[in-house]
Structure 1
Amino acid sequence: MLSYIYKNVLKNCVYISLNSRHLSILKQNSFSKSVRADITDRRYKSFVSIFRTYGFSETQVSSLFSKRPVLLNYDKDKKIKPKLEFFTKNGFSSSDLCRILAIDPEIIRRNMKDVIVPSYEYLKSILKDDASVVDAIRRCTWLLKQDVEKRLRPNVELLRSYGVPDSRIAGMLRLHGRSMMQVRFRMVVEEVREMGFKPAKSHFMTACQVKCELSKTTWERKWNCYKKWGWSDDEILTAFTRQPYILAASQDKVERVMELLVNKMRWEISKFSCCPTIFMHSLENRTVPRCLIIQFLLSKGLIKKDFCLNSVIGSTESLFVKYYVEKYCAECPELLELYASLRKNKVQTKVT
C-alpha cells in the first residue's frame, strides 16, 4: 500500500513541501527518486503517528493516504491534528472517525473555520446533541462537505414556514440528510403538498424522503407498476398518502404481492388498495400464511367476505392468532396446526 502512495507522490513533487536544499538534491537525477521516497517515508510515518493517537490502525491510515496522497503535503500540526481534535471533542469515537474518513477522506481537506465548524454547529442547533450529529454525519458525509448555509438552511426554513414540527425536521436530518441537501428538495416539498399531505402530519416528511430518493423515471416506473395491475391513479395516490413507503418498495416485491392477492386470493383491488401496509411486511413470514388462513376460513364460511384486511395484516402476531386462529379452533381443530405449519415451512409466494 505504501508503494502506491510513493508512486502517486513521485509523479509530482508538489505533493510534498520541500525546502531549497531538498530541491537542489532533486535536480540530481540519480538520486531524485530515492530522496523523494525517503522524504515521503519519513513524512508518512509522522502522519501515521498522529492518526494512531486518534485510534486509527496503520492499515486504515495507509488506505486513507492511498485515496488522498495529497494529504502528505498538508501541515499535520495546523491542518490535520486540529480537525481530529475537534471531532474527538465533539463526540466522534475512534471508530466513527475511521469509518467516516474511510468513506469520504475528502472531509479532512475541508476548511475548519469556513466549513467544518459552521456545519457542525448548525447541525447541533437542530439535532440538539453530539450523538445525533455524529449519527447524521455517519449516514451522510455531505453534511461536513457542503455549504450548509446554501444547501441545508433554506430547506429547513422552508419546512418550518409550512409548520413542520422541529422534531420531525430533526428526525429526517438525522436519518436522511442526503435528501435534505438535494437541490430539488424545495420542488419535492411543493409536490408533496399538492398531493394533499399535511405538513404537520408525520407522513409529510416520509413522503418527501421517498420522493427525494427516487428519480423521476423510477417514480413513474413504480407508479405504472401498480397501474399495470389495475390500480387507478386515485387509488395509488390514496394508498401513497396512507403509506408513502409503498413507492419505495421494490418492483419485484410489488409484483409478488399483487400476484398473491390478485391471482391466488382472487381479491378485488378495492379490497387491499386501502391496506397499503401489506407491501411493507414480509411475504413469507406474515402475508402468505395469514392470507392462506383467511382463505381457509372463507372456504368454511367462518368469516364474511367483507373482513378488514388491515386487521389481518396489520395486527400483531398474538392478536392475529387470537382472533383468526384460536377463535375458530372449536369448529376446525386443525387450524392451529395448519397455521403453525404455514409459518414453519414459509410457503412459496410465487403462484404457478
Structure 2
Amino acid sequence: MLSLRSRVLAHLLSSPAASTISPLHRLISAAAPAVSPDPSSFAVEEYLVSTCGLTRPQARKASPRISHLKSPANPDAVLAFLAGLGFSGAEVAAVVARDPQLLCSSVERTLSPVVAGLAGLGLSPSEITRLALLTGVPFRCRSVVSGLQYCLSFFGSSESLLGALKSGSILGSDLERVVKPNVAFLRECGLRACDIAKLYVLSPSPLNIRTERIRTAAGWAEGLLGVPRGSRMFRHALQAVAFLSEEKITTKVEHLKKLFGWSDAEVGAAFSRAPSLLSRSEDSLQSKYKFLISEVGLEPAYIAHRPVMLTYSLEGRLRPRYYVLRYLKENGILDHGRNYYCTLCMTEKVFMDKFICPHKEAAPHLAEDYADACRGEVPARFRFA
C-alpha cells in the first residue's frame, strides 16, 4: 500500500499541472482507498526522502520539525496540491526542505485560500510557484496575500516584485504593526516609492525592524554619517546603519579616520557619499586605499571626495582598469589626460567599448591581458618599471 501511494504521488509530481484544483481532489480521492498505512509504521525521514525527494541530510534536518505527523494523509494532500499548481519534483523538494511544516498545512483551510488570493492579485500559476520557492514559510500563511498586495503598490507589477526579491522575509512580517509604520516614517524622511521598493528587496530589510529602531537609525544616519533626510544618499545611509550599534558605527568611523589620515571634514565627505563603507571590512578597505595611494598616486583628500572607489573590487576593477589605462598611455595609444576615476565608474561593457575594443590593432593582446588581470594575474605587459 505504501508503495502504491508513493507511485501515485510520483505520477502527480511528474505529470503536467492540472488546470484547476477540483480535478486534484478527484485524484486524491481516487488514491485515498490505497492510503491506509499503519500510523505506527509512518517514518517521517523516509517519507521526506522517498516521496518528497529530499536528500538524506536534508531529511534528517527537517524531520524533527514534523515528527508529530503520524500519517502521510495530510502530506500527500499537500504534495498533490503542489503538483496541481505546476510544481516539479525538484521544486517540491526545495520548498519542503526550506519549510517542512508546509506538509502540515490544511489544503482546504490554508493553501487553497492563499493561492486563490494570490491569483486574485493577478499572479499567474508560474509566479505563484516562484513566490512559494522564494518565501517558504509565508506561503502557508494567509498574511502573505495582504503583504504581497501592499508590496505591489511600490513595485507596480508582480513580475517586477518577484524579479527583485531575493528573500521573502519581509512578506512574513507584521504588516500593520511593523511594515506600514516604518514605511510611513520613511515617507516623512523623504523616501519615494522607488526608494522603499529597494529597501524591500534587502535581506535583512530595514522595513522589518521595530519602528523605534528605524527612527534611531535615521538619527544615526544624520548625526554620525552626516547624511540629511531627503538627500539622495539617505536610503543608503539608513541601510548601512540599520543593523549596527551606535558604538560600532562610531568605532568604524574613527578607525577609518586614523587609517586614512582623513580630517573630520574628509570623513564626513566620504561617508556622506558612500555610507556603505561601514559594511566593508577594514582589511579590504586598507588594501584598496594602499593601492590607490602607493601605485595610482592619488591623494587622501581626493579619495575622500570620491569614496565610491573604495567600494569597488581591488582585483576585479581597481587594478585591471588602472593597468589598462597606464599601458595605453605609456605606449602612446591614449593621451595622458584620461581620468582614472572616470574609468572606474563605467560599466564593464562601456569600459570594454571605450578602452579595449578600439585598440585591437595597436594592442592585440590587451583584451587577453585585461582578462588575466581581472583573474588576479599580472601579465608581463602590465609590469611597469
TM-score band, normalised by the shorter chain? 0.5 to 0.7
**Contact map agreement 1:64 1:101 (CA 8 A) in 2:** yes
Deviations 1:269-322 (A, max 9, x none): 123222212223343454224445459969x9x859xx9653453355379749
| TM-score, normalisation: structure 2 | 0.63
Q: Cα gap change, 1:211/1:36 in structure 2, threshold over 3 Å: closer, same or farther?
A: closer
What corresponds to 2:171 in structure 1? 144
Q: Cα gap change, 1:66/1:257 in structure 2, threshold over 3 Å: closer, same or farther?
A: closer
**Unpaired segments ≥5 residues, structure 1:** 3-30, 327-333
What corresponds to 2:81 in structure 1? 50
**Contact map agreement 1:165 1:200 (CA 8 A) in 2:** no
Q: Cα gap change, 1:273/1:340 in structure 2, threshold over 3 Å: closer, same or farther?
A: farther
Match of 1:317 among 351, 356, 373: 351
1:190 aligns with 2:190: no
**Contact map agreement 2:329 2:336 (CA 8 A) in 1:** yes
**Unpaired segments ≥5 residues, structure 2:** 3-37, 45-68
Deviation at 1:53, TM superposition (A): 0.7
Deviations 1:240-264 (A, max 9, x none): 2123333344444323212212333
Deviation at 1:97, TM superposition (A): 4.4
1:231 aligns with 2:262: yes
Distance in 1 between residues matched to 2:364 and 2:174, nearest whole Å = 60
Q: Alignment RMSD, CA only? A: 4.2
Which amino acid is the alignment partner of residue 186 of structure 1?
Answer: R
Match of 1:164 among 177, 183, 191: 191
SS at match of 1:164: coil
Distance in 1 between residues matched to 2:42 and 2:291, nearest whole Å = 70
**Contact map agreement 2:136 2:168 (CA 8 A) in 1:** no
What corresponds to 2:288 in structure 1? 257
Distance in 1 between residues matched to 2:96 and 2:39, nearest whole Å = 22
**Contact map agreement 1:272 1:309 (CA 8 A) in 2:** no
Which amino acid is the alignment partner of residue 179 of structure 2?
Answer: L
**Contact map agreement 2:322 2:340 (CA 8 A) in 1:** no
| Number of positions where the alignment pairs a residue of Structure 1 with one of Structure 2 | 306
Deviation at 1:215, TM superposition (A): 5.6
What corresponds to 2:147 in structure 1? 119
Deviation at 1:218, TM superposition (A): 6.0
1:224-303 maps to which residues of 2 (within 5 A)? 224-225=255-256, 227-292=258-323, 293-294=325-326
- Greater C-alpha Rg: 1
Which amino acid is the alignment partner of residue 78 of structure 2?
Answer: F
Q: Cα gap change, 1:237/1:84 in structure 2, threshold over 3 Å: closer, same or farther?
A: same
SS at match of 1:40: coil
Which amino acid is the alignment partner of residue 199 of structure 2?
Answer: M
Match of 1:33 among 22, 37, 40: 40
Deviations 1:152-181 (A, max 9, x none): 111211122233333323333345672222
**Contact map agreement 1:288 1:349 (CA 8 A) in 2:** no
SS at match of 2:215: helix
Deviation at 1:71, TM superposition (A): 4.6
Q: Cα gap change, 1:76/1:310 in structure 2, threshold over 3 Å: closer, same or farther?
A: same
